[in-house]
Amino acid sequence: MKKIMLFVLLLTSLNGFAQPVNPFAEGNAWWNVADTYPHGSPLNPGFTETTSRAFSFAGDSVIGADTWNIMVSNSAPDTGAAPQFEGLVQQIGDVVLLHVDGDTPFELYDFSLGIGDSALFHISDFDDWLHVSGIDSVLVGSTYSKRIQFQEYLGNLPLQLHEQWIDGVGSIHGPLFPAQARSFSLEVPGDSLMLTCYGNGDDLLWSNPAYPDCEVNIVLGVPEVEPAPILSLYPQPTIDRVTITSAHGPIVRFALFDAFGRLVLESTPGAVMVELDLSGLASGAYVYRAECGGRSLRGTLVKIK
């Protein structure tokens, strides 16, 4: 009996992943996306602003004999403004379609893709096909779901994309990103668009480890004068090494995450200054989380060649 059970478990693992809930066919699914971009001022030239948007469904619509979910977005936290229409979506098996303005539906996702397959992205003003470079799994709720990683977008340097899809969630950059794709500059600290969390109804099913909260809104008040930073990183951008200095007590923990939300470096110096060797990391934008002065801090670190 034990041999039979072991054979069943092995066969299950070889045949693939557990079938996740189809979020684009569920009326209670929701996504929060954080958009970070430079928004400096003479008082604080290096400031980066982060605003969050919440994507969800507001009923459905029938086109011919097909029922489509109406996707809308709101600022997060909700300011009371009217929801913004984003399009009609429909999921049939592994394929998700997007319908906007009466055009021919765009294939937003195909979660059956394997290594070597490709998907079409609308990147800026033109379309491009990106090939699947890797397949692994990630925990969504209590189920391990398939994660599809794409090759790096070969646009003009210093641009990057770092796209990946999670079956049962969508793109790491937001639910509609494949149809609205944009690249991100390595030379602009804080240039990013990242999914912070995904849920269904009252259940939080996936959260990005690089973000402490689902909703991230950091907006510079004008003409308020920003206080001296609690944490400073120099140089920024950096090539191989970075010095981190705290103005409010020892740095208890410093963690660095890549664009996929994976922990790539962690230090517990217990001092007000620490120098870290980043020579083993690839060029790109990283999100850091630090604990010092009784506070949890978050920011962006950029590594260049």
Residues 290 and 158 in one domain: no
Q: What is the mean pLDDT of residues 49-57?
A: 91
Q: Give the confidence band of 8 by pLDDT, cuts at 50, 70, 90.
A: very low
* The predicted structure's pLDDT at residue 54: 95
Residues 118 and 169 in one domain: yes
Whether 4 maps to a domain, the answer reads no
* The predicted structure's pLDDT at residue 63: 80
Q: How far is CA 189 from CA 69, 122, 292, 301, in A?
A: 36, 24, 22, 7
* The predicted structure's pLDDT at residue 213: 85
Which of helix, strand or coil describes residue 3? helix
Tokens of 27: 């009326």
Q: Is the pLDDT of residue 127 over 70?
A: yes
Residues 161 and 269 in one domain: no
Q: Give the confidence band of 125 by pLDDT, cuts at 50, 70, 90.
A: low
Cα–Cα distance measured from residue 158 to residue 79, given in angstroms and rounded to the nearest whole number: 35
Whether 214 maps to a domain, the answer reads no
Last residue of a domain, one of 173, 207, 241: 207
pLDDT tens digits for range 14-23: 345 555 667 8
Residues 33 and 75 in one domain: yes
Start-to-end C-alpha separation, the chain:
57
Sorted by sequence, the CB contacts under 8 Å of residue 111 that are 6+ apart come out as 94, 95, 96, 146, 148, 165, 167
CATH of the domain at 295: 2.60.40.1220
Query: Per the structure, how many domains does the chain have?
Result: 2
Q: Is the pLDDT of residue 133 over 90?
A: yes
Whether 279 maps to a domain, the answer reads yes
| Mean of the per-residue pLDDT values of the chain | 82
Residues 103 and 240 in one domain: no
* The predicted structure's pLDDT at residue 163: 92
Domain span at residue 280? 231-303
Q: Give the confidence band of 5 by pLDDT, cuts at 50, 70, 90.
A: very low
Nearest CA to 97 among 110, 84, 86? Answer: 110
Residues 189 and 260 in one domain: no
More confident residue, 55 or 188: 55
More confident residue, 132 or 285: 132
pLDDT tens digits for range 234-246: 887 788 899 999 8
* The predicted structure's pLDDT at residue 224: 42
Q: Give the confidence band of 228 by pLDDT, cuts at 50, 70, 90.
A: low
Q: What is the mean pLDDT of residues 77-101?
A: 88
Q: What is the mean pLDDT of residues 85-96?
A: 92
